[in-house]
Structure 1
């Protein structure tokens, strides 16, 4: 392993800040919606808009990671991230807030690209699971403390001051300049037009779902068709379609896509449920989300070691088993005792960090070293797209005041039907991911 321990520590800290920037605003969504008089589907753009740019940016930076030294990419990306944070701090209306989040995302998307490229480029396969486990632990720890900080800030000084925390990412730059290995740049360029067409297609799909607009859906299909046409005719496509001729890589991506959608759906649903059904204030919602994420952070390395010793398949099966039990439990106890909800959230978070490590190992194992930047960039992008899609869909579902029927027959309280059914949608995505994984495993 030619990557220093100091570089791994810096990367872990940067990932903590990155994931906090997302999870903090999840908890603040009910308060932001109240401040600007927004519906759940409208306020979801604080998260989904961020994710769309994040998804595209992760691939752009992933391709650039194969062509330029990582320290230069980090410097530019984190500079833009800091600028967006300053705009968000000063935001006085919803439009400026969304603009600030998009600018933040444009810079922050360098983080997953670097985080996914570094282990594949600089760590031997036999030790890669351990490093990916450290990365997953960092993500889980950020997820753990993000809700608490969000609850404390939102309940005291206001959600706008959450943007100040993001500025801490700048502290990592001197260390990265000193500790990251030097690369030999590869020839190539980024297809800006292709990136724009893909971003337009994804954004149009989000708008079509949020506003129930068929015109936007047609625009999404048009942009998507033009993107595919462009990708087949340019020398340097934004997405190299040859990557998808690797069937193992393609199926692993599909499993990860469904997995990410299922996980983010629960992350989006739970704070809104705790506010609406359990009448919890932001600070208490943060503390409810903390124990599970902390447990995941503490056990993240276990998932990495398990992946190295037993292989990705064993870790995936373990993770999916825990998540299925947790999601069925959350569906059953929606709106009931917060202690039952807390117990299932702990189980779900542990399952998530195990699954996240296994997914990264599964996908990276199908890539040659020279494809690491682009291949892992696509991996990150599709995971974020899955999160954005499920966020838009769940936001639209939660616009309803209630559901008349509960699919889960164990739920009797009518006010909980809406959230119980929403958790079951996430469970269905996880079951579908399991079926695809079993086919991949057989071959």
Structure 2
């Protein structure tokens, strides 16, 4: 078997790797024989040269088998959703309890923030006491008794992806279609799913800024999922502006709670959440068609069952039992809160810049070992067509940081006459 450096060299020059070579490299990534530098070089080689479908399937299988693969015996389908990442994308926090309230089981393995996008795991880590990395026995128990459990990758589940994920975040290889495909599917296969729904973002705040690239990624995930026998549907959704009007970790948890309890339901966030959750119910045969699925999901919200599921999940994983009733008591808050105003109508948003603004405030990472300030970010973000003068509200640790965030927020907005916006859900692949 070729040593790691020769596997890297072969791929760097455009060669095709055998399944055994990929498995050997991933095994080395898991047990430490492959160094961080070699993993970064492999990721860069793949980013430049790409992988064939057979190589993508082999990489996905190898990363799945690098740890434990769960098997379930539950009275309903085991389902999940994954997003390629965006700004203000707190959908997972609302969707998982909604699907659980409709009879599905959602063992969701989520990641940290990647590049300019926020991570579901970082959001949940802002909840005091919430254990984002429980052992597998706890993960199984919460999924079984509550119906949903959102955690991070443990040492047992797809550990090779866990290591490569952190390296991709800081080496400029996040956008690789092949690595995204293998990363997503290896985690989901390790979770023992019966079905998966993908949210592939496109637009100014997405990794796939052009819709053609989003279609390519959706098709890639579908092809590899078919190769590993995981029923999968993908929706392409619009990220031309923040999905929610909030960006930041604790701030997005508060937003999701407001959504679940009905205190605030913004149309675009609701449309994407409902569309993805409906696909989950249909792929799990919990609803015969989209109309039935949406009716059941709306009822989970109006009845309060979805909010109850979220509350039970948080408590079962160590968080406060009254978080839903009193989020302001438990979630961290930044000491400096500042409105940013500018007269005029919002024509367009450079959404990626808002994500980078959250990172600059301390709400994201530039190195794997960086800590995150959970309280910082933006709320009340304006969307194209808004003309009230408020661009957003900065939540910062200091006045100096608020000054910088205000500058970056102003730079992210273009004022003028807005063009016709795209719908929240653009296409379905499946």
After TM superposition, the score normalised by the length of structure 2 is: 0.26
Higher RCO (CA 8 Å, separation ≥ 6 residues):
1
Higher strand share: 2
After TM superposition, the score normalised by the length of structure 1 is: 0.26
Higher helix share: 1
